[in-house]
Structure 1
């Protein structure tokens, strides 16, 4: 059976107090909408439709980056969830199969839960996702009779017995596309808010003699985000889950609560992560690597046996081969560091290639930017770059070549050569004492004045 996703992402999120659409606020450095779309991809959908409203162009741009095959449709007026799903009808023209309705601000529904919803479609025409609430509060209650969902009762309309029900409505549902849109045509807005509610489909389906059921999931999967506080809670939930998953996979987190992971962080077994490490998007750390304390990684690949940090920063485009060392207060950007090479102290390596077994001395800088263009530095294998060397790109240092400490390298250095590029030292006898006496006298005159 074919599947289509309709993801509702039109809300403004007033309580977020932000110019950014609610669904674009990040959890683990990815928009919450991306989390919802990723969960839906487990169903291998034939089509994905995102219903946007507030700041629709920002949502459209974000969706294009997440999944270029997804379609964004506009809900000009926010007239309820039923009205929102109807906006996807044209985009699903010609589609035959199940429609699964997700919410862009409910990012944690699991792949397993969605698969169970689709499986339940073999027994029912309409499937609602529910959860056992620890505190049902004002959630809509799902009134079940065996496997049959009799009705959804809003808190304000519920009897005492119905309010005692803890099985609550998440808002997610699955239904045959033709049936869903046929039922939506009959949804009215005769209610206090004047809105068209998706939940009305349950009553309409039962009126038509259709089978309606509910699938249960953990309450944590239905966490909705409406405020900055909710966003912080959601991020904490993600981090706890992601850390636990890494520990189960055989990754050592020395102080798990201090490690911050991104949405797509991948770390192999037997890697060791020391305290206070931050992972930005797009990081892969292979098995057996060591990431030491207070390092920040983003958009990089760290190979087996590499050691990074402490206090290192790996920026996008960094590729560390096996058994490389990147140490204290080193920054690397858009550079390939070959097997066994070392960049251990206080250096910046940007837009560069460093060869196998090369040693980069402390304080080395690749001067890659001329104010307009970026230029590359190439350093060969088994080279030795002296401390405090400035490599003015574009420039190449050959295999087994050396640069002297404090050199400013502006021309290529051939294989095996030693480059010395600094002013000859001159000592002026007694000049230091005379200069200091002059400066102290000047300071004294200024103080009296």
Structure 2
């Protein structure tokens, strides 16, 4: 059976007090609506429809890679109104699943359970029981436990307000029936809107089987209306990530102080200290240790590497048994071979550091191809930028570079060479040569220094 998936993302979200569409605010580093679209995309034989309205251009531009059918709802009049605008695109012989762009943590496994119950004569509802159901539409059942209607909070009687089973808004209905129900909707209610929930009573009247499915947890169906709810959902998401990481064999020294804003893959016996942030896709090999207050983005860290505190790694490849930090910064394009060492206050960019090479402290190495077993003294920099273009520095194996050296690119230092401390190297240094490039020291006797006036 073909399946249409409709994601509602037209709301104004005025309580967010933002220049951006509500559904573009992020949970776990990913826009809420993109999370919903990604989950929807996992369901087979599905066609995506994205309903946009307020700041719809922003939403459409942000989601164009999903190839969803964009449907405009410029003057929103409720969820039923949104579905009526999608109705012409729905396949008569299929079913429609309704999702929400501000309910980002819905799981594919839950939606799969719903689709498994779908038939041409069945309507599937996702419901949940809450200790405090205030604000939600209540699920009304008859004496036999069959669902007969959904009553919104503002339209509910005192008895109905006591019901704890509530509507999540997520439902699955056969299209040939849904189109008829949508056409029959009215807005004679307290909100003056067309409620999608009114189709439940129509389905009951028409003799359809109305079945319910429940999510695994409340966070899965929690919506976001303001930044307080957004922050709460972020914590729910991070808690879920922490549990999964620990179940996969990672040690988190404090599971409440980690932020995963993308995908974090860990090997066995990984240790992550407090206040670490992971963005994009990060892969940590077996036995990796991440110190406190580190920020890793789009990188791969090899087995048994130690990343010490306050280190930033972005778009880089790190080999096995490396030693990085503290206070190091690996910028995009950095590649560390096995057993390389990057020490405190060292910055690298678009640099390949060979096996066993050491850049211990207070250095900048950019646009560099460095061989194995090189020792770089403190304060060394590669002068890779001439004001217009970037140039390459090439350093061979077993080179010793003295402290406070400037390597003015493009330049080559061949295997086994030694650079004297304080040198500015502008010309090629050949194999096993010793290069001095500094002015002769002059000492003046009886020097009288400046006197404070």
Is this a same-fold pair by TM over 0.5?
yes
Greater share of residues in helix: 1
Does the 8 A contact of 1:299 with 1:318 survive in 2? yes
1:428 aligns with: 443
Q: What are the equivalent positions in structure 2 for 1:91-240 lying under 5 Å apart?
A: 92=89, 94=91, 96-122=93-119, 125-145=122-142, 146=144, 148-217=146-215, 218-240=217-239
Give secondary structure in 2 for the equivalent of 1:263: strand
Q: What are the equivalent positions in structure 2 for 1:228-377 lying under 5 Å apart?
A: 228-315=227-314, 317-334=315-332, 335-366=334-365, 368=366, 376-377=367-368
Residues 350/2 of structure 1: CA separation in 2 closer, same or farther (3 Å cut)? same
| TM-score normalized with structure 2 length | 0.88
Deviation of 1:429 (Å):
4.8
1:391 aligns with: 382
Cα distance in 1, alignment partners of residues 336 and 243 from structure 2? 31
Deviation of 1:265 (Å):
2.5
Cα distance in 1, alignment partners of residues 112 and 145 from structure 2? 18
Does the 8 A contact of 1:110 with 1:221 survive in 2? yes
The list of structure 1 runs, each at least 4 consecutive aligned residues, that deviate by more than 4 angstroms after superposition, is: 93-96
Does the 8 A contact of 2:121 with 2:174 survive in 1? no
Matched, 1:86 2:84: yes
Deviation of 1:304 (Å):
1.6
Cα distance in 1, alignment partners of residues 74 and 90 from structure 2? 20
Does the 8 A contact of 2:374 with 2:397 survive in 1? yes
Greater share of residues in strand: 2
Cα distance in 1, alignment partners of residues 131 and 76 from structure 2? 30
Does the 8 A contact of 1:120 with 1:215 survive in 2? no
Cα distance in 1, alignment partners of residues 271 and 286 from structure 2? 9
Cα distance in 2, alignment partners of residues 336 and 379 from structure 1? 10
* Per-residue deviation, residues 87-124 of structure 1 (Å, max 9, x unmatched): 3345x455743321111111122222211111221495
* Per-residue deviation, residues 39-75 of structure 1 (Å, max 9, x unmatched): 32342352222111111111112113xx433333221
Deviation of 1:81 (Å):
0.7
Residues 28/157 of structure 1: CA separation in 2 closer, same or farther (3 Å cut)? same
Does the 8 A contact of 1:124 with 1:213 survive in 2? no
| TM-score normalized with structure 1 length | 0.89
Deviation of 1:424 (Å):
3.8
Cα distance in 2, alignment partners of residues 265 and 2 from structure 1? 34
1:406 aligns with: 404
* Per-residue deviation, residues 277-303 of structure 1 (Å, max 9, x unmatched): 122222222232111111111121212
Cα distance in 2, alignment partners of residues 419 and 46 from structure 1? 64
Structural RMSD (CA):
2.1
* Per-residue deviation, residues 329-368 of structure 1 (Å, max 9, x unmatched): 11011211111111122111011111222111311202x5
1:22 aligns with: 22
Unaligned stretches of 5+ residues in structure 1: 369-375
Deviation of 1:176 (Å):
2.2
Cα distance in 1, alignment partners of residues 27 and 91 from structure 2? 35
Unaligned stretches of 5+ residues in structure 2: 385-391, 425-437
Moved more, 396-405 or 350-359: 396-405
Cα distance in 2, alignment partners of residues 28 and 93 from structure 1? 32
* Per-residue deviation, residues 231-262 of structure 1 (Å, max 9, x unmatched): 11111111111111111211100122222221
Give secondary structure in 1 for the equivalent of 2:202: helix
Moved more, 12-21 or 293-302: 293-302
Give secondary structure in 2 for the equivalent of 1:363: strand
Cα distance in 1, alignment partners of residues 156 and 86 from structure 2? 32
Does the 8 A contact of 1:147 with 1:213 survive in 2? no
Aligned residues: 426
